[in-house]
Amino acid sequence: MECFELPIYKKSQEIFNVLETITSLFPEDNDYLQSIKGNLLGDIMLIQAKICGAEAVKLYDIKMENATIIRKAARDIFVGGNTLEHLGFLILSIII
């Protein structure tokens, strides 16, 4: 099975689409929000890459290393969502 067919990868693609839509609403002249946008999109892309990496390898240690990186990136997205909620973007906390 290819990693793109995995249910967890499909869910990560949905999250990517949601984050892309939400971050497209950020004003271009706001450097702080643009920085958050880069972090959010970078984290979800990292998650997608590590999902495929974990699926492709056979070694348990590497699978667990990828899982740890995925967990950290997911936590960073959660923190980014909390930051946006604090700034008045309530929709992100509802979706994630």
pTM: 0.88
pLDDT at residue 42, as a whole number:
98
pLDDT at residue 85, as a whole number:
86
Q: How many CA atoms lie within 13 A of 3 on its CB side?
A: 14
pLDDT at residue 1, as a whole number:
66
Neighbours of 24 (CB within 10 A): 8
Average pLDDT of the residues of the chain:
91
Integer Cα distance of 93 and 78 in angstroms: 8
CATH number listed for the domain at residues 3-95: 1.20.1440
How is the chain split into domains, by residue range?
A: 3-95
Tell me the pLDDT tens digit for each residue of 52-91: 999 999 999 999 999 999 999 999 999 999 998 888 876 5
**93 has pLDDT over 50:** no
pLDDT at residue 89, as a whole number:
76
- Under DSSP, is residue 57 helix (H, G, I), strand (E, B) or coil? coil
| Cβ-proximal residues to 6 (8 Å cutoff; 6+ apart), any chain | 51, 55
pLDDT at residue 88, as a whole number:
83
